[in-house]
Amino acid sequence: MALEFPGQQTLIAALDAAVVLGDAPAVTDALRSSLCSMIRQQDVRLPECVFNPIEDHYARRELYTSAQYGYSVVAMTWGPGQGTRIHDHSGLWCVEGVWHGRLEITQYELAEQRDDHYRFNPVGTIEAGIGSAGSLIPPHEYHTIRNPSDSAVAVSLHVYQRTMVRCGVYSPDDSIAGGPWQRRGERLLGTDQAA
């Protein structure tokens, strides 16, 4: 269930205007620009619940899904030290903006694949602060996200091409020589309650 918040219509109008551009690079460029501007100008205020972490995992809270264009908006809350393993977005483009705190994001490129085993090369890590945004366009979608703070909460806003119900998650696997190798598994994604 989507949450209401001040500036929601401003956010939706900006996202709609970007999504109608059509091709993924144009859409994600426009979305990045819009998110950065809205975060910095503080015209949009996210619901208070998105600033409340969940102790045992990062929180995913749905803010909006467009019935007309299909994209979805999810706020993620990262408690101190919380993060992800290497994962993909199952072929969907995404734009991610840091709303509160700082996040460490590492991008990976696929070096080799053997069946359900993958080998990645890290291609860069950034520590992103409030008002910064990045995009992932397949096949360049492999990454990790982590809150590097041991005391502060971080919040990011994610705009997905459509509702993301699953993603690929990669776990170290020593069963193949010449690694390090990762085995791809599927993770079903849900959303957390607005507590």
Count how many domains the chain has.
1
Query: How many residues are there in the chain?
Result: 195
In a domain, 3, yes or no: no
Choose among 159, 154, 140: nearest CA to 95: 159
CA distance linking residue 24 with residue 64, whole number of Å: 20
116: in domain: yes
55 within some domain: yes
Residues of the domain holding 110:
8-188
Per-residue pLDDT for the chain (195 aa), expressed as one digit of tens each? 467 899 999 999 999 999 999 899 999 999 999 999 999 998 899 999 999 999 999 999 999 999 999 999 999 999 999 999 999 999 999 999 999 999 999 999 999 999 889 999 999 999 999 999 999 999 999 999 999 999 999 999 999 999 999 999 999 998 887 778 999 999 999 889 875
194 lies in some domain: no
Extract the tokens encoding 132. Answer: 């910064």
pLDDT at 42: 86
The model's pLDDT over 94-112, given as tens digits with 9 standing for 90+, comes to 999 999 999 999 999 999 9
Q: Which CATH number is 95's domain given?
A: 2.60.120.10
158 is in an annotated binding site: no
Report pTM: 0.94
1 belongs to a structural domain? no
